[in-house]
Structure 1
Amino acid sequence: MLRKICKGKLHRLSVTQADLNYMGSITLDPLLMRAADIHPYEMVQITNLATGVIWQTYAIPGGENSGAVCLNGPPARHFQPGDTIIVLSLGWMDDKEWSTLEASVVFVDEENHITSVVKHRPAKEMPLE
C-alpha cells in the first residue's frame, strides 16, 4: 500500500512577493528548496496561516540566498507579502520506504533564512492501539 507522507516542511515562511500576472507556481530560494527536499517543478502544498487557504502548485527556484517566497498566478489572490505560510513537500511511499524516511522541518527567521533544520525519522515500531 502507498501512503501519502510529508517528506519536508518549510515552517512559517514570510511571503515576499505576489505576482498575479505570472503563469503560476511558487518561487522559492533554492536553499529552502534543498533543505526541505523540494525539487524544481515538484508539487507542494501551501497553507496561509492568516486565512486558512490551502493551495497546491509547483515550486520553481528563485535567487540563491535571497529568501524569496513569491506566489505566482492565481494564488497571488490568496497570499500577499507579509503573510505567514507553511509549505509541505509531500510524497507517496510504501511501508518499506517509510521505515527509512528522514523528513525535514526547516525553521527560518524573518527574512526566510534558515535558522535550523530538524530531521524526523519514524519510530522503529509504531503502536497501532
Structure 2
Amino acid sequence: MELTLLKAKLHRATVTHAEVEYEGSCAIDSDLLEKAGIREYEQIHLYNVANGERLVTYAIRAEAGSGIISVNGAAAHRATPGDPVIICAYATLSEAEADRHEPTLLYFDADTGDNRIQQIKHAVPIQAA
C-alpha cells in the first residue's frame, strides 16, 4: 500500500506579490524551497488563511534571499499581497517509508510579513482540547 503524507510545509508565509500576467504559478524564494526540500515545478497546495481559498499549483524559483511568495497567473485572483498562506507539498510513500518519514516544516511570523524563517520542525504539535 502507498500513502500520501505531508512532505514539507511553509506555515503562515506572507504573499508578497499577486501577478496575473506572470507565467508560472507560485514563485517562492529559492532559499525557502531549498530549506523545505521542495523542487522547482513540484506540485504544491496553497491554503490562503485570509480568505479560505485553496488551490493546487506548482512551485517556481524566486530570487534567493528575497522573501518572495508570488501567486501568479489565474491563481493571482485568489490571493492579495499581505495574505498569510500555508504552502504544502506531499509525497507518496510505502508503508515502510512512511514509518520513518518526518516532514520539514518551516514556520514564519505572519505579523512581520518578511518571510524569514522563525523555526524549523519535523512534526506538527499535538492538538490539545
The two structures have a TM-score, normalised by structure 2, of: 0.89
Aligned 8 A contact 1:46 1:85 in 2: yes
Q: What corresponds to 2:77 in structure 1? A: 77
Q: Secondary structure of the equivalent of 1:99? A: helix
Structure 1 stretches of 4+ with a deviation exceeding 6 A read none
* Alignment of structure 1 residues 44-63 onto 2, 5 Å: 44-63=44-63
Q: Which runs of 5+ in 1 are unaligned?
A: 122-129
Residues in 1 aligned to 2:30 and 2:91: alpha-carbon distance in whole angstroms: 19
Larger radius of gyration: 1
Task: Give 1:113's aligned amino acid.
Answer: R
Aligned 8 A contact 1:24 1:74 in 2: no
* Alignment of structure 1 residues 8-87 onto 2, 5 Å: 8-87=8-87
Aligned 8 A contact 1:35 1:117 in 2: no
Shift of 1:24: 3.1
Residues in 2 aligned to 1:35 and 1:11: alpha-carbon distance in whole angstroms: 13
Residues in 2 aligned to 1:28 and 1:77: alpha-carbon distance in whole angstroms: 17
Q: Secondary structure of the equivalent of 2:45? A: strand
Aligned 8 A contact 2:24 2:60 in 1: no
Q: What corresponds to 1:118 in structure 2? A: 121
Shift of 1:23: 2.6
Shift of 1:84: 0.6
Q: What corresponds to 1:127 in structure 2? A: none
The two structures have a TM-score, normalised by structure 1, of: 0.89
Residues in 2 aligned to 1:95 and 1:16: alpha-carbon distance in whole angstroms: 38
Residues in 2 aligned to 1:33 and 1:6: alpha-carbon distance in whole angstroms: 15
Q: Percent identity?
A: 32
Aligned 8 A contact 1:25 1:60 in 2: yes
Residues in 2 aligned to 1:75 and 1:33: alpha-carbon distance in whole angstroms: 19
Q: What corresponds to 1:93 in structure 2? A: 93
Q: What corresponds to 1:124 in structure 2? A: none
Aligned 8 A contact 2:29 2:62 in 1: yes
Q: Which runs of 5+ in 2 are unaligned?
A: 125-129
